[in-house]
């Protein structure tokens, strides 16, 4: 039984709610799918909490951006600065050096897709989907990045699974998202105090934190 946790983004209350749900379900092992620290109020605390788990880690694009911002949108730079300040240089470098993929028991894990940590899959098939699956031999691919929880099959028969985001769902459901992999797959959601997390972002990150705070409040990427 394996817990799949993706896109925590420094949201400690959401992470604790998911871990409590995982304990109740009997989960003892985890795969961690990247984007652990930025752009939340508790970047270091989330990483330290995750380090307590029996887990395989992979790197997300935001983890990479802590060191390499060559393709990071300029509006994220001030948030990344603050995240790296709270993380510390050593821990930021460790996250950026994590492996990009992990394979386990017939499942391949990546952050966005096997060919990119920025280009991913969506609930509806896209024209470039088979290109993103190039070289995948496993029957199941687990990914995150879009913060949209779903599962479906590709045209070539690969089971595509997005566990959703623990810390910042963008599918209209504010509850923390994760997935349970056992004999089958179960997509799960957990209630937590999302307003307190949004308020903490504003308090700790200041004006640059307004957008990530509103994304938590509205559970969507394009916020009003």
For strands 29-32 and 54-57, give the pairing: parallel
Query: Two tokens at 117?
Result: 């940590």
224: pLDDT confidence band, cut at 50, 70 and 90?
low
Question: Which residue ranges form the domains of the chain, and what is each CATH number?
Answer: 2-218 (3.60.21.10)
| Mean of pLDDT values over 85-110 | 94
β-bridge mates for residue 2, sequence order: 29, 181
- Tell me, what's the pLDDT at 183? 86
105: pLDDT confidence band, cut at 50, 70 and 90?
confident
More confident residue, 161 or 223: 161
| Mean of pLDDT values over 40-61 | 97
What is the Cα–Cα distance from 168 to 147, expressed in whole angstroms? 7
> Is residue 80 a contact partner of residue 64, using CB atoms and an 8 Å limit?
no
| Mean of pLDDT values over 151-164 | 96
CB atoms under 10 Å from CB of 116, counted, come to: 14
Structure confidence by residue, pLDDT tens digits, 187-196? 999 999 999 9
Structure confidence by residue, pLDDT tens digits, 107-131? 999 999 999 999 999 999 998 899 9
Least confidently predicted of 74-78, 143-147, 170-174: 74-78
Query: Two tokens at 28?
Result: 């003892």
CA angle 62, 63, 65 (to 5 degrees): 60
Burial of 224 (0-12, 13-18, 19+ CB in 10 A): exposed
> Is residue 199 a contact partner of residue 205, using CB atoms and an 8 Å limit?
no
Buried b (16+ CB within 10 A) or exposed e, 83-105: bbebbeeebbeebbebebebeee
Buried b (16+ CB within 10 A) or exposed e, 170-189: bbeebbbbbbbbeeebebbb
- Tell me, what's the pLDDT at 134? 87
What pTM did the predictor assign? 0.95
């Amino acid at each position: 039984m394996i817990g799949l946790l993706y896109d925590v983004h420094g949201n400690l209350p959401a992470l604790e709610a998911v871990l409590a749900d995982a304990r109740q379900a009997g989960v003892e092992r985890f795969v961690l799918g990247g984007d652990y620290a930025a752009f939340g109020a508790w970047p270091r605390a989330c990483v330290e909490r995750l380090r307590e788990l029996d887990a395989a880690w992979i790197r997300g694009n935001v983890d990479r951006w802590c060191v390499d911002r060559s393709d990071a949108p300029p509006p994220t730079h001030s948030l990344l600065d603050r995240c790296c300040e709270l993380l510390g240089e050593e821990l930021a470098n460790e996250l950026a050096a994590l492996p990009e993929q992990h394979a386990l028991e017939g499942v391949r894990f990546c952050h966005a897709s096997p060919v990119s940590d920025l280009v991913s899959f969506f609930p509806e098939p896209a024209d470039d989907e088979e290109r993103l699956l190039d070289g995948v031999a496993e029957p199941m691919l687990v990914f995150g990045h879009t913060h949209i929880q779903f599962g479906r099959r590709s045209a070539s028969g690969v089971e595509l699974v997005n566990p959703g985001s623990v810390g910042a769902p963008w599918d209209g459901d504010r509850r923390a998202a994760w997935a349970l992999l056992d004999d089958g797959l179960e997509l799960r959601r957990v209630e937590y105090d999302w307003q307190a997390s949004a308020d903490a972002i504003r308090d700790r990150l200041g004006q640059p934190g307004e957008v990530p705070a509103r994304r938590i409040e509205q559970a969507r990427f394009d916020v009003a």
